Structure formats: C-alpha cells, structure tokens
Structure 1
Amino acid sequence: MTSSSRTKPSLEGVASAGRALTVLSAFRRGDDAVSLAELAERTGLVKSTIMRLTLTLEEHGFISALPDGSYRLGAELFRLGSLYQQSFRVEAHVMPALEALVAETGESAAFYVADRQKRLCLFRVDSPHPLRLHVRQGDRLPMDGSSIAQVLRLFGAVPLPPEAVRTPVPFYTAAANDPHSASMATPVFGPGSHFAGALCLTGPITRFTRKAADAATPVLLRVAADLTKSMGGTPVSELATSLRLTRTG
C-alpha cells in the first residue's frame, strides 16, 4: 500500500469531522431548534451533506432530529460538558440541590436528562440508608413509565406543549420499572424557559410510599424552584403565566 493511499482516507475523515463540527457550531444561543434550511444558510453546506452528517451526529447523541424535520443539540454534548469542567455551571448548582434533598428527605436524589431514547443519570447523591437503589452517575436507563421518564418526555418536548405547564407536579410512581422501587420527579428549567432536566427522589417502595412522597413534595418543589432560579430559569409554578405572556405579547 502506498503512502498516498494510506493518507487519503485520513484526510477525507478529517474533512468530514470538520464539516460535522461546522454543523454543531451553527447552533446559537437561544435556538430551540434549527431547520435544515437554516443550517444550510449558516454553514454554507448543501442540504444533502448536512443530512448525511446529522444522521451520524444523531447516532452518537450530539443532535436530535425532531418530527418536523428540524434539529436540536443532543444530550451527549451536555454529558461531555460536565466531564470537561468539574466546576461546570450546571453541576455547581445541581449538586448542592441534591445534597439538600437527601439531607431533608433521607432518600436518594438525582438529576436526569434525556439521551438517545434513554434517561441519563447525570448527577446523583445517595441516601444514607443501607437499603437504597443502586444507580450511578452516567447510567443510562429505559424511558419507561417511571416518574422520571414521564417528566423527560412531557417537558422535554419542543416547543413546550400547553398541557405540560397545566399538569400538576411532581409525578410519583411505584413499581414502574422495578417492583421494589418508587420515584418522584419534577422539571427544572434554565434560561429562556428551556427544560434542563428532571430532579427526582428515589427509594425502596416499602419506605418511599405515596404518603412519604406526599410529605416530601413541598421539599422537592422548593428545591426545584430554587435550582431553576439559580440556573436563570422560571419555576414550573410560574411558567404558565410566563409562556402565556410571551405568546400573546
């Protein structure tokens, strides 16, 4: 094999990687989703090239394709960002919130985001009880019937559906994916009312009963509202009014 035959695929690979990064860099602050036409205009690439690149980017979780044909950034970028910088803004706000939840309720607390049809445990603080659920940061679990998955599906939709802000939270489920576990989850928002993730409490079903969850509800909602405000977002309790004024103003 000649030197030129070995080098050519490498150069082609570098060019493809460069075009893929160009597509990712085309997203701007404030974008909910970007259409194929907008990506073509911003990058200077032809639509057929962008479509090929987004298939690969979507496969690896860097981009999510929406039903209307537009695109938004994927959760893999969120995960990589948290790994890149330990003092990343989200972690700096989320971890104290989780610690506060565990201290006040005694149950495990976690923060989840959607990731390629799964739910990704981005941050977690374990319960001090010996009997607890064993989930680790970085675990990817099914988008099942659990309260966590329900919050990710409902509030992660773009644009945010009207029924989302009218739905009482938090959600509570027991034995949704494990006969021994129960969970309660509520949404957290960032700047511009963008959904940031699901804040949740989890525990064994024998201890984290519906009654125990009801007692912990004010704590979870308060911590979620404080976390949302610290991240520059609007708490879910105020979101309906905010969105109504935005859409009619």
Structure 2
Amino acid sequence: MSADPSPRSQEGVAVIDRACAILFAFKPTDNALTLAELAARTGLYKSTLLRLAGALIQHRLLVRLDDGRYQLGPATFMLGALYQRSLNLGDVVLPLMRELAEASSESVSFYVRDGAVRVCLHRVDSTHAVRFHVHEGDVLPLESGSGGQTLLAFGGEPGAAFERIREDFYCVSVGERERDTAGISMPVFGIQQALRGVFTLAGPSSRIDDAFVASNLDALFDCAARATDALGGDSRALRDARHAQQSK
C-alpha cells in the first residue's frame, strides 16, 4: 500500500493548481487583466496572486504591463506552438470517430473543404453489410449532403438555411446527394476557432431517421466538442448550443 502524500507534496500540487487558475482566467477576448479582475475570476487573495504572478513572470508565462495589468507571456505562445507542431489531426479525430461508430453502429467520416469541393480525410466504416460507401480521399460536392452544407455554413455562406445550421451547430440531410442515404454533420474548430472540418455520421435513410438523430445527437456533440478542445479551439459554443436545444 502506498503512503499518503506528504503535506509538502500536497502543498506543491495546490500551488500548481493556483498558478494554472491564473493562466486559465484569461479568455480569448481578453487583452490584459487587472489584479482585481484576476482575484474575482480565480477566487484567490491578492497577496497570493502577487506571489504566484511573480513566479509566472519569471518563467515568462505572464507579463506585467506598465499600467499594472497582466498579460499572458511569450512562453505560453511557445508551448502552444510546440503543441500544434506535435499534433496530428488523425491522432485526435480517429479515436473519437471509432468511438462514435461503435456507439451508433453507423459510418463516420471527417470532411475538410478544398476550394469548391470537400474531401473525405478520415473514415471509419460501420459493420453493416448495407452502408453508405465513401473512402478516404474521395472528393464530394459542397452543395449537397450534410457535410458539404455544414462546411459552407461555417465557412460564412449567407442565407437563412446556413444561418440555421450555424445556430444549431449541426445539419441533417436526407437523400440530397444519393436518394437512399442520410447524414448528420457537425463542425470541429481549432486555434482561433478556425474551422478544421466536420464529422459526418451517415448511412441508409431507412436507419438514419428522426429516432436515430435524437438518440445519437448527444454523442456527436460530445465528439465534436472534445475534438475542438484537443485541437486548441473553444468548445463552449458547441456545448451551449446543445444545452439550449435540450432545454426547449
């Protein structure tokens, strides 16, 4: 049996937790924060903030401006850049796609936009003998199918239909590209909320019906949110959209 952590080690973990609370107090829209704003967001005493801020400044994770406000330091950018360079898109999306395919028993694709078309970058097939056949590398139109519609919507395409997709954060299509197929698609975002692609859960329209959408939408939202977080995006808009729909 392992010994309980010593008081000293527990104190060290607490210090790390508080330092992380300071760094994560900054939101994407923040330029700089005052000591009072940091105290309000972290719940830490100003004396504690000042002590921890000094250590973070020393390691270039925080910068103190001439007016006394604080900004994230250059070391945070360096760490973010290292993370991005080490990140392989497939390493993030494929485990989630396998999880979704297993839970739904249908095929999952990840599409990216390439000019006026979309490309299937990754694919996990269902185990059904009858399924929607798409292969990695296949080029499909943007104008039809839930995947293309979602890429257009989050690429800024104007129009009421695309505005609805942007509001709901998903698109369902039935028989648009092929008469007997249906799909549900949802966007995945990265750094600065750049659109990285869309997840599409698709199969024969005899199986992808309203009941299927209702029972699998939570799982699709969860996968898109987790992929967005892992790719450096902010999944709050996705999660908020789902909560809003559930409360209706």
Return the TM-score normalized by structure 1. Answer: 0.57
Runs (4+) of structure 1 exceeding 4 A deviation are: 162-166
The answer to whether structure 1 residue 181 and structure 2 residue 160 are counterparts is no
Give the superposition deviation at 1:238: 5.9
Give the superposition deviation at 1:150: 1.0
Name the structure 2 match of 1:109: 108
Name the structure 1 match of 2:130: 131
Does the 8 Å CA contact 1:174/1:205 hold for their aligned counterparts?
Answer: yes
Q: What root-mean-square deviation, in Å, do the aligned CA atoms of Structure 1 and Structure 2 show?
A: 2.7
Give the superposition deviation at 1:237: 2.4
1:153-232 maps to which residues of 2 (within 5 A)?
153-157=152-156, 163=163, 167-232=167-232
Computing the radius of gyration from Cα coordinates, the structure with the larger value is 2
CA distance in 2, matches of 1:229, 1:169: 16
CA distance in 1, matches of 2:129, 2:167: 34
Give the superposition deviation at 1:116: 2.5
The answer to whether structure 1 residue 140 and structure 2 residue 139 are counterparts is yes
SS at match of 1:167: helix
Q: Which runs of 5+ in 2 are unaligned?
A: 1-84, 242-248
Deviations 1:29-82 (A, max 9, x none): xxxxxxxxxxxxxxxxxxxxxxxxxxxxxxxxxxxxxxxxxxxxxxxxxxxxxx
SS at match of 2:130: coil
Aligned AA (2:229): K
Deviations 1:124-168 (A, max 9, x none): 10001111011000000111231111110011239xxx9478511
Give the superposition deviation at 1:225: 0.4
Q: Which runs of 5+ in 1 are unaligned?
A: 1-84, 241-249
1:29-178 maps to which residues of 2 (within 5 A)?
89-157=88-156, 163=163, 167-178=167-178
User: Structure 1 204/163 Cα, relative in aligned 2: closer, same or farther at 3 Å?
Assistant: closer
Does the 8 Å CA contact 2:123/2:135 hold for their aligned counterparts?
Answer: yes
Give aligned-pair identity as a percent.
32
Does the 8 Å CA contact 1:193/1:239 hold for their aligned counterparts?
Answer: no
Deviations 1:173-215 (A, max 9, x none): 1101111100000110001111111111000011111221121
Aligned AA (1:194): A
Give the superposition deviation at 1:234: 1.1
Aligned AA (1:168): D
Does the 8 Å CA contact 1:170/1:186 hold for their aligned counterparts?
Answer: yes
CA distance in 2, matches of 1:210, 1:165: 17
Return the TM-score normalized by structure 2. Answer: 0.57
Give the superposition deviation at 1:103: 0.9
CA distance in 2, matches of 1:191, 1:229: 9
1:11-26 maps to which residues of 2 (within 5 A)?
none
User: Structure 1 178/239 Cα, relative in aligned 2: closer, same or farther at 3 Å?
Assistant: same
Aligned AA (2:111): Y
Does the 8 Å CA contact 2:150/2:165 hold for their aligned counterparts?
Answer: no
Name the structure 2 match of 1:33: none
Does the 8 Å CA contact 1:188/1:224 hold for their aligned counterparts?
Answer: yes
Does the 8 Å CA contact 1:172/1:210 hold for their aligned counterparts?
Answer: no
SS at match of 2:226: helix
Number of positions where the alignment pairs a residue of Structure 1 with one of Structure 2: 154
CA distance in 2, matches of 1:94, 1:238: 18
CA distance in 1, matches of 2:239, 2:102: 26
